Amino acid sequence: MSVTLRARLALLLLALLLPAWACASGVRATLDRSRVQLGETVTLNLSVDGNGNIDMPDLSPLAKDFQVLGSSTNSSISIVNGSRSAQFTIGIALRPKHVGQLKVPSLAVAGGHTAPLLLTVTPPDPNTAANSGKDVFVEASVEPDHGYVGQQLVYTVRLYYDVNLSGSLDEPQLAGVDVHKLGKSLNYDAERGGRQYHVLERRYALVPHHAGTLEIPSLQFQGTADDPSNPMDPGNFFGQNGLFGGGTSVSAASPAVSLHVQAPPADWGSSSWLPARQLTLTLDGLPANGELHVGQPLNLHMSVQASGLPADVLPEPSLPALSGATVYPDRPVDSTSDDGKWMHGKRERAFAVVPQRAGTLTIPATTLKWFNVQSGQAETASIPARSFTVLPATAGASGATPAVSASAAAAPTPASAASAPTSTVAASSHGHVRWWRWIALASLLLWLLSMLGWWWYRRHRGAAKVAVTRVEPVMPAPPAARALREAFMQAARGDDASIQAHALLAWARVERPDLRNLGELSAALSSSAQCAAIAAIQQRQYGGTPAGEGVDLAATFARGFAWRNDATGGDDSPLPPLYPFDLGSR
């Protein structure tokens, strides 16, 4: 068999297997609830990424612990930025057969296998026996049955009905308590007193502000039910609700619920009170080799994540002032989500740390005290101290000062921040380099024309033999330096810190070609005003802060650069540390 024929057969086999492989990728299994009472139903969703319909999998492994009541299918297609994706979902209604920790086994779906799941099945609540036999009733419960100030509680409301029903159910409104709806409403079936009901379930996050007894009043349902025994009822003849508003008015109310809310422990101290189910503190972006270079920004990403707390109660991540480096914090980014039961708050922040001198740079340990509501104990999340060796600026470093974008610094996730580059060049500056070159070329052309005109004038004046006093012409400054100086003066009148930093460094390198960044430029100057101006440019460039009042860049550098005699070093940056919040236990 020739090589060409083998290649064709391989491509044909790949084409036949590719659709099955595409459908098998991304097979997932989820339950709409992780805890149910015996007699209630739960929905198992099998989701597959790919196009086309998927054959119904073998459900016989479920027969040991579940009764399969039925199934439904759904497909969806989304197009984001021209990228098309499809998902096919099979929903399977299950009713547990007994109480306990039941395992939903792995199922073979579209050439792949789902991960096993666990479902907790509890005995029926004896308190609901009084509702047996009713067409419509409402139940309510709170989890846990006691808590602390600031702790998230889960308030669950269930509407049971066995008739064609329409109407509205009240939303909880409580004074001194933050109320947030969790996830989407759930619909399933349940058995009460030997009778099957449809159930509408809603969950709410409650965050009490005050200690004491929390009273959750009854929620009211008002609606209309069709009477199937009366075929002449307009509500049945014309469909649900009826053309003339027929049907029987029904109402139901949930029981009032009360619970005790405790104050923080008396010995908690002055630290922020953070009652959470789980809390983590992370710092990403640290160099793996433990080495940094003077003037090269280190992009760090700190995040505080908590389960059972919204983002707005978490403290803002911060870094203290660092000896031998300047810290430029970005704006914090907050996000709060929920998994249908618990809130998940996240507050993250990016930092640009710019070493100013060679030596050792130490980032001290950061700690955050919080209260674990599951164990009832105080815990501490921490980031250990790290020390790094700061080397002189590398010989091959770019002459332009790296610009850290405020929005770009906050984008990486913790998982990707460690692999993100620690130095980026602002893309906007490349466009401005072009017109600086054109200005330099135009200035050079004008200088050549002026020299040619001066030579022509001298030659013709000499022929006239007119006795004049010879005056040596004053040669102008080099055209490149003059053009770059004018480019900086023009940038100084604007408000773009990246353009100002690039223009100032390009101008300075005409006189000191070995300069690699603004840190070295500041160290080589003897003027405190010029050093302060450079620090102000860096503050706006890295920190995204508005231009400071009273800083006149054009006037500060109008007479050129005030160089040190040795130009071998300098003091630390005069800019005060930028960290408005102290993230640590006191």
Q: What is the pLDDT of residues 546-570, one digit of tens each?
A: 655 567 888 899 889 999 875 444 4
Rg for the chain, CA atoms, rounded: 36
User: Are 42 and 102 contained in the same domain?
Assistant: yes
Burial of 230 (0-12, 13-18, 19+ CB in 10 A): middle
User: Are 280 and 258 contained in the same domain?
Assistant: no
User: Are 30 and 104 contained in the same domain?
Assistant: yes
Residue 442 lies in a domain: no
Tell me if 301 sits within 8 A of 414, measured CB to CB.
yes
Residue 382 lies in a domain: yes
Residue 132 lies in a domain: no
- In the predicted model, is pLDDT for residue 199 greater than 80? yes
Q: What is the Cα–Cα distance from 221 to 63, expressed in whole angstroms?
A: 37
Residue 88 lies in a domain: yes
DSSP 478: P
Tell me if 224 sits within 8 A of 249, measured CB to CB.
yes
Number of structural domains found in the chain: 3
The rounded Cα 330 to chain-centroid distance in angstroms is: 13
Residue 536 lies in a domain: no
Residue 463 lies in a domain: no
What pLDDT, on the 0 to 100 scale, is given for residue 207? 96
Highest mean pLDDT among 12-26, 365-379, 395-409, 513-527: 365-379
Residue 569 lies in a domain: no
127 phi, psi to nearest 5 deg: -70, -15
- In the predicted model, is pLDDT for residue 81 greater than 80? no
User: Are 387 and 295 contained in the same domain?
Assistant: yes
Structure tokens at 467: 């006795």
Highest mean pLDDT among 2-11, 370-379, 427-436: 370-379
E strands, 14-116, where? 28-31, 35-37, 42-49, 66-80, 83-96, 100-104, 108-109, 112-113
Q: Which of 417, 441, 463 is the last residue of a domain?
A: 417
Highest mean pLDDT among 17-26, 328-337, 459-468, 494-503: 328-337
Residue 491 lies in a domain: no
What is the side-by-side strand order in the sheet with 359-363?
291-293, 386-391, 359-363
User: Are 141 and 187 contained in the same domain?
Assistant: yes
What pLDDT, on the 0 to 100 scale, is given for residue 566? 54
Q: Which of 262, 293, 328 is the last residue of a domain?
A: 262
User: Are 95 and 181 contained in the same domain?
Assistant: no
- Domain housing 79: 21-122
User: Are 109 and 176 contained in the same domain?
Assistant: no
User: Are 88 and 142 contained in the same domain?
Assistant: no
User: Are 110 and 177 contained in the same domain?
Assistant: no
User: Are 176 and 198 contained in the same domain?
Assistant: yes
What pLDDT, on the 0 to 100 scale, is given for residue 6? 54
Q: Which of 237, 262, 287 is the last residue of a domain?
A: 262
User: Are 164 and 221 contained in the same domain?
Assistant: yes
- In the predicted model, is pLDDT for residue 418 greater than 90? no
Length of the chain as a residue count: 586
Residues paired with 148 in a beta bridge: 262
The enclosing domain of 167 has a CATH number of: 2.60.40
Q: What is the Cα–Cα distance from 465 to 484, expressed in whole angstroms?
A: 41
User: Are 237 and 366 contained in the same domain?
Assistant: no
